[in-house]
Amino acid sequence: MSDGVRRALVGSPTHPAQVAERELRDRYEWVAPDEADMIVVLGGDGFMLQTLHAMLERRRIVPAFGMNLGTVGFLMNDWRLEGLDERLARAKPFRVSPLSMTATTIDGETHQIPAINEVSLLRETRQTAKLEVTVNDRAVLPELVCDGILVATPAGSTAYNLSANGPILPLGSALLALTPISPFRPRRWRGAILPEKARIAITVLEPEKRPVSAVADQREVRDVAHVEIAIDRMRGLTLMFDPEHALDDRITMEQFIA
């Protein structure tokens, strides 16, 4: 490879991504993901999240440059076959710090899972959830009656968080969004913006009667009793973007879409 950077290529199983992957493999040189210094990802936001989670699990983290062949593609660049070498050389890096979710179930099992976009707690039945919310060991909401609650990173603030009427957080703001989902009591509480160093704990009240699941991006733990959420500063991820489609600019512009 002309610039000495070893690149891997992965594509989602969808037909458009598979066609694009074959075209790119014929045009450029590639190595296996475990040997790469950078990875090119073809698909949508969901497949990008899946690829990033796989890197976290393997503990081999390299920059990722995505090209959108999915639906939304907020974390992706435009798909183009031509000029990939030049695009990668000009790409702007953005560091994303994932959340770490530690969820303890009613049976006492503990699950620790990373989340790049958000951690959400959701009621499992028709019964509303009753939650106690603690920030830095201080009970800020002794009882929140709701459908659920989520904690979103800046990179994830335009996803589920925005759909739940949460705030859009600029990348690099070092903030987290704490957003309720259909709050019933206190009815006027619309959430909070917290510094990323905040330690958030959520205890499920009446967990047997009002069961709650915890979801870290796409991975779910059912029947949780207690969940702790904090930024994982030890495992930062790097996303690469074309300068004209930088993630911070896209997050800013999302605030002006009607």
DSSP assignment of the chain, as one string? Answer: -TTS--EEEEE-SSHHHHHHHHHHHHHS----GGG-SEEEEEE-HHHHHHHHHHHHHHT----EEEEE-SS--TT-BPP-STTHHHHHHHPEEEEEPPEEEEEEETTS-EEEEEESSEEEEEESSSSPEEEEEEETTEEEEEEEEESEEEEE-TTTTTTHHHHTTPPP--TTS-EEEEEEES--BSTT---EEEETT--EEEEEESTTTS-EEEEETTEEE-SEEEEEEEE-TTS-EEEEE-GGG-HHHHHHHHTT--
Is 136 a known ligand-binding residue?
A: no
Tell me the whole-structure pTM to 2 decimals. Answer: 0.83
CATH class of 7-97+235-254: alpha beta
Is 103 a known ligand-binding residue?
A: no
Is 82 a known ligand-binding residue?
A: no
Reply yes or no on domain 99-231 having CATH 2.60.200.30. Answer: yes
Domain boundaries, the chain: 7-97+235-254, 99-231
| Catalytic residue list contains 45 | yes
- At residue 238 the predicted structure's pLDDT band, cuts being 50, 70 and 90, is very high
Is 239 a known ligand-binding residue?
A: no
Is 117 a known ligand-binding residue?
A: yes
- At residue 4 the predicted structure's pLDDT band, cuts being 50, 70 and 90, is confident
User: Using one digit for the tens of pLDDT, what is the confidence trace for 21-78?
Assistant: 999 999 999 999 999 999 999 999 889 999 999 998 887 889 999 999 988 788 899 9
Catalytic residue among 45, 107, 137, 217: 45
Of 18-22, 53-57, 122-126, which gets the smallest average pLDDT? 53-57
